[in-house]
Amino acid sequence: MSADDRPAARAPWLWAALYLAGSAIVVTLKLTDAIGAWTGLILFVLTMGLLIPMVRSSERACHPNPAIKRYNRRVLGASFGYVLGLGIAISLFKNVALPAPAVFAIALLPTLPTFVMIWAMARYLAEETDEYLRYRSVQAALAGLGIMLVIGIFWGFLETFELVPHVPAWWVLPVWAIGLGIAQLWIWARDR
Amino acid sequence: MNNRLRVLRAEHGWSQQDLADRLGVSRQSVNAIEKGRYDPSLPLAFSIADVFGLPIEAIFLRNGDPE
């Protein structure tokens, strides 16, 4: 029996719900100081392990082509790297007096995995052989970019006029990813 | 661009997935082309014509052309 023939043990949404619930519990424990920074990081990474069965059950249900499977694996790996890198970088920055070159180096820990995510998107567009799926992905990526620019520009001027607090520039990626997700959801609903 | 894909597919008794498998594309691609939301590239249009054994102009029509 191949991996694709096996019955889906649980639906993807169930794994996603477990992941969200697990993350919420870890964040709550951390915010209430019930656990320390390192314990929180380890628990958060372990909770992220739930994303692996979520992606696998989603692939069993949707039968994506090889390009999409490769993209999923690359982004999943980069996400693990991002959380680990971010956790380690913040912990080191808060607890150890580091010289500027070392701070530059630890800033790269969460940065490099995000470059892998951007590379994964570029590779997907190059490897996708289905022209309509590629067109759909480009549409969604452009929609995400548009949303990111609109929010970024508006927020920037609100910040200039001292109406809102400063937001670090790395927020561009999560905002773009959320825009991408919304656009993909809209296209998915339209295509049904 | 209008097309006769849905009619031709029905004449052959094929589902969207059947036609997608013959073309080596996703079912979503066939669905989008049929509904006129996506105009295929020339290579894919030729593949579609080959699958039905028809010239391209017998499948894809200019806007305003009678179906």
Closest CB to B32 among A65, A129, A132: A132
In the structure encoding, which two tokens stand for residue A15, read together? 């794994």
**Strand residue runs (E) in A23-173:** none
B19 at A interface, C-beta within 8 A: no
Three-state SS at A34: coil
- Check A132 against B41: CB less than 8 A apart: no
Q: In a 3-state reduction of DSSP, which class is residue B3?
A: strand
Residues in A touching B29 (Cβ below 8 Å): 130-133
The ipTM estimated for the assembled molecules is 0.89
Tens-level pLDDT at each residue, chain A (192 residues): 444 445 445 788 888 899 999 999 998 998 898 888 788 888 888 898 888 888 888 888 878 889 999 999 999 999 999 989 998 998 899 889 999 999 999 999 999 999 999 999 999 999 999 999 999 999 999 999 999 999 999 999 999 999 999 999 999 999 999 999 999 999 988 877
What would the two tokens of residue A182 be?
Answer: 């919304």
| Angular region, A41: left φ>0, alpha ψ -120 to 50, beta rest | alpha
Summarize pLDDT for B4-41 with one digit per residue, the tens.
999 999 999 999 999 999 999 999 999 999 999 999 99
Contact, A101 vs A121, CB < 8 A?
A: no
Is the CB of B40 less than 8 angstroms away from the CB of A131?
Answer: yes
pTM exceeds 0.90, yes or no = no
CB–CB of A101/A44 below 8 Å? no
Taking contacts as CB-CB distances below 8 angstroms, the residues of chain A near B38 are 132, 135
